[in-house]
Amino acid sequence: MSINPVQGMGPAAEETLAEANLRRAQAASSAPAAISAQPGSGRLPEQSAPKPQTISFATEMPQDEVEVQRDSEANDEIVIKYMDHSGNLILQVPSSQVLGMVRAIDQDFQREEKVRANGSETSSEGGKTHGH
């Protein structure tokens, strides 16, 4: 399973985008004036297509990580951990409390199974008769 990082926009990129939008708005508002200035020519003035702008980030944003593991103590439960760039846990699914509860339930089942196994051994021995 792979999750690609989401690229965010930094403040410099937002300013560049705002400037580009402003230039487009100014170009759109000046285009009708150019068309109306030549009413009888029959031809529309040639308009150059806006050049696509590339946005480059001066610093690359740190990336978060996703870890997928199996918890052997919790019946091989799949655990997904979302960690930030510095290794701090953001979110864990299922949570550590839920995993603790699953482990406790598994331990209770194991204890009960041992008690039943020991109880069945003593009851089968106690039921023997010596021929009387």
Angle at 76 between CA 70 and CA 78, to 5 degrees: 45
Residue-number span of the structural domain to which 100 is assigned: 62-132
Cβ–Cβ under 8 Å, residues 79 and 96: no
Establish if 1 belongs to a structural domain.
Answer: no
**pTM greater than 0.75:** no
The answer to whether residues 35 and 79 belong to one domain is: no
DSSP state of 14: H
pLDDT tens digits, 6-43 = 555 555 555 666 566 656 656 555 555 444 545 555 66
The answer to whether residues 56 and 96 belong to one domain is: no
Among 12, 3, 10, 5, CA closest to 63 = 5
Residue 14 CA: distances (Å) to CA of 5, 11, 67, 94, 102: 19, 5, 31, 37, 47
